[in-house]
Amino acid sequence: MALKPCCRILFHGRNSAFYGFPSPKCHLPYTNSQSSFRFNYAHYPKLYSNLPRLSGFGCVSDRTRKPFCAPSLNWSQSRVLYRTCNGGVGRDVHVIRRVASDVFNYSTSIETVVNERNFERIYVQGANAEPLVVERFDKDESIGRDEESRAEDDGGNVNKDNSKGLHTAGVLNSVKEESAVEKEAWKLLQNAVVSYCGNPIGTVAANDPADKQPLNYDQVFLRDFVPSALAFLLKGEAEIVRNFLLHTLQLQSWEKTVDCYSPGQGLMPASFKVRSVPLDENKFEEVLDPDFGESAIGRVAPVDSGLWWIILLRAYGKITGDYTLQERVDVQTGIKLILNLCLSDGFDMFPTLLVTDGSCMIDRRMGIHGHPLEIQALFYSALRCSREMLSADEGSKNLVRAINDRLSALSFHVREYYWVDMKKINEIYRYKTEEYSTDATNKFNIYPEQIPHWLVDWIPEKGGYLIGNLQPAHMDFRFFTLGNLWSIVSSLGTPRQNKAVLNLIEDKWDDLMGHMPIKICYPALEYEEWRIITGSDPKNTPWSYHNGGSWPTLLWQFTLACMKMGRPELARKAVDLAEKRLPLDSWPEYYDTRNGKFIGKQARLYQTWSIAGYLTSKMLLDNPEIASLLYWEEDYELLEICVCALRDSGRIKCSRGAAKSQILV
Ligand code: GLC
């Protein structure tokens, strides 16, 4: 008889998270008595850090001290076994009960606070072995009841009750006969599906059987899964997306496991792998092993993961009509943790998110540390998504207010200071420097000498774009495609700016599309710049990979942007281009050279998000109504807030009367 794998989650950290929820398809004899044990430890960091040493932990921390690291043989592999199937039952019951009891001995409450505005406090209530329920301080009876009933559907039972509401059939208005290329793409996408305890949970990044060194391309990347998820959702296959959202939620961490340092709670992993771990007596269990950057090349922080997770959660609701998922208490808490992390105060002076290099799709050194556009556009979208999804109650009122404030400040900042077109470049060209005052025109002290030579020739009469990054005395004038496309999709840009970005792409078609859509950024860093900014990265040589390579996956975002702006013909042109080459070239990850002529030097073949990006583009083009669920129009109320805030603070005088003119465009 084939053994069923058991299910758990691996944590490499010293004070790693663990969970007390049953996993799908692993029904244990004690399910009834334990099924109400639905406390998600991942969401209770302080609580967790107060736990005494448990088997598998190499690090102990208490309420007042930072975790210290006790070397252990098992150090990098330290785990908490919180449940197994097939025989481990007795032991696991014991572990769970002991943890539950320890929880109550060592901690009573935690709170999450954003910007000291005390958005919401969450605490844990219960007694030994009693069901644990998440409640709010400002208790509202109906909310409590609601949450309890939602919490019945615990993190492990992700495929059951709530999927009843799924509109799994007939999602597409237009179901056309699939072409041979589409059929092939679907087959490849299905082959890339990863299962966990017998259920689909994501897709591997690449699935090339000939690749003997997959590195981490055999993992499920959160950002890579988004186009796969959309393709599945559009096809009416929602289960995999639901599983993905719930299981990655369980992986959500409050800790970084690099060099004894803990980050803010709410971080989502860059990727995870389903591992098979042998147990005694020829048994094995499946475990989810997340990577928060501690194994990633360059140890990069996956800032975009949580933002994508929120964006996908909204898309799931919109496409399936199943809003019960986003209403669940654990999901609501997950959203809040991500937001808390993004909205917490730091040393930052701008409404944009401050991040390290490589914290997004470009996940290695490329000179995008600071306030890269891609992160800002995803941040803006995630805020808009969250505002829609947060349950409207007293507990989230302050959070929603903070979201609105940030949305208006962020859009003002990006629209005003990231935007370049002929007129703006000419303004910068004539900037005075060293202006000391609150109403300086050249606020960031940009030296006109920074305007690169290529830009002077390149900028078209008609059209413009949002620059890649803005810091004191630094404008990164490179065109970054994902940030610009996602600014269109989310309406981070003004309607006029959004239109102008597409005009620019059309005007610069040969540069940005060439033989294969779409350049990840333009132009490439060359010579000294490449040496200094990338650190002589041999993978990011000029016009390769992140440094001006062409990435087919960006096709779906381009399609969505074009559809929003009423230019589907532009998207079709790009899809046609890609369709001719992708299957012949075995669906590469990226293309090299100035106009995307060659398959990338180190590009993986059968790259899942290249395949899924193509399929999603095709389906979106055929179903404009569904596409319209995935983009946002201008929010005029936000603009009002922005103008009012400027007026109240006496700073209505901005360099281009931006807020007001933003309303007019
Ligand atoms: C590369 C890409 C990154 C992607 C990963 C897996 O590292 O830069 O964006 O998520 O591959 O495909």
Q: 5-60: per-residue pLDDT in tens?
A: 455 666 544 333 333 333 333 332 222 333 322 323 333 233 223 222 222 222 22
Torsional class of 59: left (φ above 0), alpha (ψ -120 to 50), beta (otherwise) = beta
Q: Is pLDDT at 176 greater than 90 in this prediction?
A: no
Contact between residue 118 and residue 343 where contact means Cβ atoms under 8 Å apart: no
CA 243 to centroid of ligand 1, rounded, Å: 22
**Inter-CA distances, 165 with 147, 238, 311, 389, Å:** 18, 11, 20, 17
Of the candidates 211, 228, 185, 179, the one whose C-alpha atom is nearest the C-alpha of residue 582 is: 185
Tell me the pLDDT band of 343, cut-offs 50, 70 and 90.
Answer: very high
Q: Is 363 in the pocket of ligand 1 (CB under 6 A)?
A: yes
Instruction: Determine the distance separating the centroid of ligand 1 and the alpha carbon of 610, expressed in angstroms.
Output: 11
State the distance from the centre of ligand 1 to the C-alpha of 591, rounded, in angstroms: 14
Whole-number pLDDT of residue 585: 98
Residue 255 has pLDDT above 80, yes or no: no
What pLDDT was estimated at residue 272?
A: 95
Q: Which of 64-73, 191-200, 593-602 has the lowest mean pLDDT?
A: 64-73
Find out whether 86 and 6 touch, Cβ atoms under 8 Å: yes
Counted residue by residue, the chain has a size of: 665
Contact 201, 248 (CB under 8 A): no
How many Å apart are CA 258 and CA 263, to the nearest integer? 10
Q: Against a cut of 0.85, is the pTM above it? A: no
The confidence band for 570, taking pLDDT boundaries of 50, 70 and 90, is very high
Q: Pick the atom of ligand 1 nearest to 221's CA.
A: 10
Q: Rounded to the nearest whole angstrom, what is the distance from the C-alpha of residue 27 to the centroid of ligand 1?
A: 36
Average per-residue pLDDT for the chain: 77
Please say if the pLDDT value at position 439 is more than 80. Answer: yes
CA 221 – ligand 1 centroid, Å:
8
- pLDDT tens digit string along 351-389? 999 999 999 999 999 999 999 999 999 999 999 999 999
374 CB near ligand 1 (under 6 Å) = no
Q: Is 224 in the pocket of ligand 1 (CB under 6 A)?
A: yes
Distance from CA of residue 419 to its chain's centroid?
24
Tell me how far apart the alpha carbons of residues 196 and 24 are, in angstroms, rounded to a whole number: 8
3-state secondary structure 416-468: HHCEEEHHHHHHHHCCCCCCCCCCCCCCCCCCHHHCCHHHHHHCCCCCEEEEE
Q: Which residues pair with 267 in a beta bridge?
A: 253
Report the C-alpha dihedral over residues 247, 126, 13, 220, rounded to 10 degrees: 0
Q: Which residue CA neighbors atom 7 of ligand 1 most closely? A: 363
Q: Indicate the top mutation candidate among 268, 305, 361, 550 to test ligand 1's pocket, ranked by most ligand atoms within 8 A of CB.
A: 361
Preceding amide of 520 cis, omega within 30: no
Nearest residue (CA) to ligand 1, atom 1: 363
